[in-house]
Amino acid sequence: MKFGTKAIHAGVEPDPTTGAIMTPIYQTSTYVQRSPGDHKGYEYSRTHNPTRTQLQNALAALENGKHGLCFSSGMAAEDAIMKLLKPGDEVISTNDLYGGSYRLFTKIFQNYGIKFHFTNMGNVANVEKLVNENTKMIWVETPTNPLLNIIDIKAYGELCRKHNLLLVADNTFATPYLQTPLDMGADIVMHSLTKYMGGHSDVVMGAIVVKDDDLHERLAFIQNASGATPGPQDCFLVLRGLKTLHLRMERHCQNGRKVAEYLKGNAKVGKVYWPGFEEHPNHEVAQKQMRDFGGMVSFELKGDNLDDATRVLENLKLFALAESLGGVESLCGHPASMTHASIPREDRMKAGLRDTLIRLSVGVEDAEDLLADLEQAIG
For residue 268, indicate whether it is catalytic: no
Q: How far is the CB of 170 from ligand P1T (least distance, A)?
A: 5
What is the bridge-based pairing of β-strands 188-192 and 166-170? parallel
Query: Whole-angstrom Cα distance, residue 183 to residue 196?
Result: 20
Q: Cis check for the bond before 143: say yes or no (omega within 30 of 0).
A: yes
CB of 155 to ligand P1T, least distance (A): 20
Contact yes or no for 142/122 (Cβ under 8 A): no
Nearest approach, Cβ of 141 to ligand P1T (angstroms)?
5
Residue type, 344: P
| Amino acid sitting at position 30 | T
Whether 285 and 152 have beta carbons less than 8 Å apart is answered as yes
Q: How far is the CB of 276 from ligand P1T (least distance, A)?
A: 19
Active site residue 195: yes
Length of the chain: 379
- In the set 15, 46, 304, 355, the catalytic residue is 46
Nearer to ligand P1T, 58 or 70 (CB): 70
Report the alpha-carbon distance of residue 232 to residue 25 in Å, rounded.
6
**Comparison of 96 and 266: residue with beta carbon closer to ligand P1T:** 96
**Which position's Cβ is nearest ligand P1T?**
74
Upstream peptide bond of 14 is cis (omega within 30 degrees of 0) = no
The number of CA neighbours under 13 Å toward the Cβ of 341 is 6
Q: Which is nearer to ligand P1T, 136 or 195 (CB)?
A: 195
Pairing of strands 358-361, 331-333: antiparallel
Which residues of the shown chain bind ligand P1T in the complex (CB under 6 A)? 73-75, 98, 100-101, 141, 145, 170, 172-173, 192, 194, 204, 206, 323-325, 339
User: Which residue is catalytic, options 170, 234, 292, 373?
Assistant: 170
Closer CB to ligand P1T, 245 or 266, in the complex:
245
Between 49 and 101, name the residue whose CB sits nearer to ligand P1T. 101
Query: Annotated catalytic residue: which of 6, 52, 136, 195?
Result: 195
52 is annotated as an active-site residue:
no
Residues with a catalytic annotation lie at 46, 98, 170, 195
